[in-house]
Structure 1
Amino acid sequence: MKFGINTYLFSSPFTNESVKFFPKFKEWGFDFVEIAVEEPADINPALVRKALDDNGLECRSVCAATGPGRDLRGNRKEQIVSMDYIKSLIDIAPVLGSSLVAGPIYSAVGRAEFVTAEEHHKQWLTVVKHLKSLCADAEKQNVKLAIEPLNRYETDFINTCDQALSLIKDVDSDALYVHLDSFHMNLEEKDPALAILKAGKKLALLHASGSDRGTPGGDQINWERIFVALDKIDYQGDIVIESFTPDVKVIAKAASIWRKVESSSESIAIDGLKFLRSLNL
C-alpha cells in the first residue's frame, strides 16, 4: 500500500509552477502525488513528470475536477465539454506516469436536485452511454477510471458504494472501478467498512480525510475498522490524503470550508500520513 497527497491541499489550480511543492511532499514521506488537473492546458505533462522523477515521486492517480459545465448528464454542450475533458485526462495520465483517473466524473459537482424517477433513469442511461465510450478510450491507454460517490450536498446522483457498483455493472467495462472517500462515506454509508467490503476488488482508490475535512486520525471516523476492511479485501491500491483548508480559496468555497479546521496544510499532511502509516503495520 502506498500513500499519496492530493494537490488540492496546497494548490488550485495545479500549474507547472506547482511542482515547487514536490520537494516538501518527498521530505514529509509521501510515496506519490495525486495531481488534480483542473485545466489540462495549465500543465506541461512532460515537465511535471520530470519534476516528479527528480524528486523521487510518482503520480499514481489523476484527480478529475468536474465543476460547472462538465456534466455527463447535463445539456448537450455540457456533455461534450465533459467528455473532451475526461478524454484529455486519459491522455495526460500515462505521460505523468499514472494509470488511474478518479473522481465524480459522472456529473458536475454541486448539482443536487430532486428529479422524478423517469428523469433519473434518463440521466442514468446517458451517463452509462458516455462512460462506455470513455472506458473504451481508457482501455486503449491502459488507464482505469474510478467513480467517486459524493455526499448528498454535492450530488444527487451517486452517493453510496452500492450506487457506484450499480453504475459499474451497467457500464460493464473492466476499466471502470470505485473510488471511495472517508469524508463522503462518513455522511452517506451506514457502515464505511462494509462499503469497502462490498467494493472488494473493484476498489481502486481510497481518499482519506477527517470527518470535518481535516486530518485523518484527528476525527471521529473509525479508522481501525476501515483498515481491517482493507485488509480483508487484500487491498493493493493507494490511500490519498485529500483534505482542505481556507488557504486555497477556490477549493475552500467549493467544499464549504468556512473556518480553519487545522493549524496548517503542512500539519494535515505530516500528521495525517504518520497516523495512516501507523495503521498499516
Structure 2
Amino acid sequence: MTAAKTVATSAPNPIGVHALVWVGDTSPASVSHAVERTRAAGFDLLELSLHDSVNLDVSAARKEIADAGLKVACSRGLAFDADVSSADPAVVERGEKLLHDSLAVTHGLGGTHFTGALYSALGKYGAPLSSAGRANVVSVLRRLAQEARGLGMTLGLEVCNRYETNVVNTARDALALADDIGEDNILIHLDTYHMNIEEDDLVRPVREAGDRLGYVHIGENHRGYLGSGHLDFTAFFHALADIGYRGPITFESFSSAVVAPGLSGDLAIWRNLWSDGEDLARHARGFIAQHLAVSGVRG
C-alpha cells in the first residue's frame, strides 16, 4: 500500500517513549518535564496520550518538542459514552467528534502518526462486537482517514487485547478492518504486550502485516523493565528486520508510580512495576538500540 511504503523509508527507526513513563497528564508543566526527560534520555520521539488533551497547550508543546529536536506521535482510546463501535448514533457521533478533534491536535503538534484504539472504548466489553457497530467503525474511520490524508498523516489501528476492546485483538483482525475501511493511510500498530496475550507468537503477525506495519509499541509481558519478563524480543526484532520495517518503535510502560486519572483505571495499573521512570527509560533506550543493531533492522 502506498502510505505504508512511504513510512518504510531507509532512515533509521525513530526510538520513542510514551509520556506516561514521565508524567500522568498533559498540563504545560508536565509536557515540559516529559520533553526534557525524553531528550535527556536520548530518545528520538515522544508519544503523547490524548486522554487529557483538554489541558494541552498545543502551540507551546509544539515549540518545546521542536526545540528539543524530537518527533511526536499521539495516541488515544475512546470512552463508552463516545464509542464509534456502538450501535447508538448519538454515542458514535460523540466518538467521531473526539477522533477528529484528536487528529487536529496531533497535526497541531507537528505529528504525522495518530494511533491507538481509535475504533472503540478502552475497556472490557460484555458482548461481542455487533455487525452494526463494526459498520460504524468502518464508516467513521474511513472519513477520519480521508481527513488525515489531506494533512499528510497516517492512522494506526493498535491491536489490543480482549480485556481492552472487542473490535481488534489480532493483527489479522486489524488487517481485515483496514481492508474494509479501504484507505491506504490506515496502518497496523503492533504492541508486544498485547501480542503476548492474543497472538500465537511474536513473529507471524509482523510478517503478515508486512509493509502495512506503521507503528510499534515495545512493552514487556507485565509492562515493566524490558528483559525482565519472558518475551522473545530477539525473534520480534528479527521479524522487523525481515520485513524491512523503518517506522517508529516506542517504549510503553505503566506503573502506579505515575498516575493518569481515569486512564490508570482503564488500563488496570494497580501496582508499582517501577518507581524510577528515568532509570526505566534509559534502560529501555539502550535495550531497543541494542536489539535494532544486532537484528539488522537498521542494517
For the superposition of Structure 1 and Structure 2, which TM-score range results when normalised by the shorter chain? over 0.9
Asked if 1:5 corresponds to 2:17, the answer is: yes
The answer to which of 92-101 and 140-149 deviates more is: 92-101
Q: CA deviation at 1:215?
A: 1.9
TM-score normalised over the length of structure 2: 0.88
Distance 1:113 1:46 in 2: 40
Task: Determine what percentage of the aligned residue pairs are the same residue.
Answer: 26
Q: CA deviation at 1:177?
A: 0.8
> Are 1:109 and 1:155, in contact at CA under 8 Å, matched by a contact in 2?
yes
Determine which of 134, 147, 150 is the counterpart of 1:137. Answer: 147
Determine which of 143, 156, 172 is the counterpart of 1:162. Answer: 172
In structure 2, the gaps of 5 or more residues are 1-12, 294-299
Residues 278 and 254 (structure 1 numbering): CA distance in 2 closer, same or farther, change over 3 Å?
A: same
> Are 1:148 and 1:181, in contact at CA under 8 Å, matched by a contact in 2?
yes
In structure 1, the gaps of 5 or more residues are none
Can you list the C-alpha shifts for 1:74-128, whole angstroms capped at 9, x where unaligned? 222221121111111222222212111000010001142223xxx6222211111
Q: CA deviation at 1:39?
A: 3.7
> Are 1:4 and 1:238, in contact at CA under 8 Å, matched by a contact in 2?
yes
> Are 1:178 and 1:202, in contact at CA under 8 Å, matched by a contact in 2?
yes
Q: CA deviation at 1:230?
A: 0.3
Task: Give the match for residue 83 of structure 2.
Answer: 71
Task: Give the match for residue 6 of structure 2.
Answer: none
> Are 1:217 and 1:276, in contact at CA under 8 Å, matched by a contact in 2?
no
> Are 1:217 and 1:272, in contact at CA under 8 Å, matched by a contact in 2?
no
Distance 1:139 1:58 in 2: 19
Task: Give the match for residue 108 of structure 1.
Answer: 121
Distance 1:263 1:130 in 2: 39
The RMSD of aligned alpha carbons is 1.5
Residue identity opposite 1:183 in structure 2: Y
Determine which of 231, 243, 254 is the counterpart of 2:241. Answer: 231
Asked if 1:54 corresponds to 2:39, the answer is: no
Can you list the C-alpha shifts for 1:177-220, whole angstroms capped at 9, x where unaligned? 11111100000000121101111111110001111011222211
Q: CA deviation at 1:136?
A: 1.1
Asked if 1:146 corresponds to 2:159, the answer is: no
Distance 2:53 2:70 in 1: 20
Distance 2:33 2:201 in 1: 39
Distance 1:14 1:121 in 2: 36
The answer to which of 133-142 and 264-273 deviates more is: 264-273
TM-score normalised over the length of structure 1: 0.94
Can you list the C-alpha shifts for 1:6-58, whole angstroms capped at 9, x where unaligned? 11222232122222221121111111101112243321211101111222222
> Are 1:40 and 1:88, in contact at CA under 8 Å, matched by a contact in 2?
no
Distance 2:122 2:281 in 1: 25
Moved >3 Å (runs of 4+) = none
SS in 1 for 2:229: coil
Of structures 1 and 2, the one with the larger relative CO (CA 8 A, separation 6+) is 2
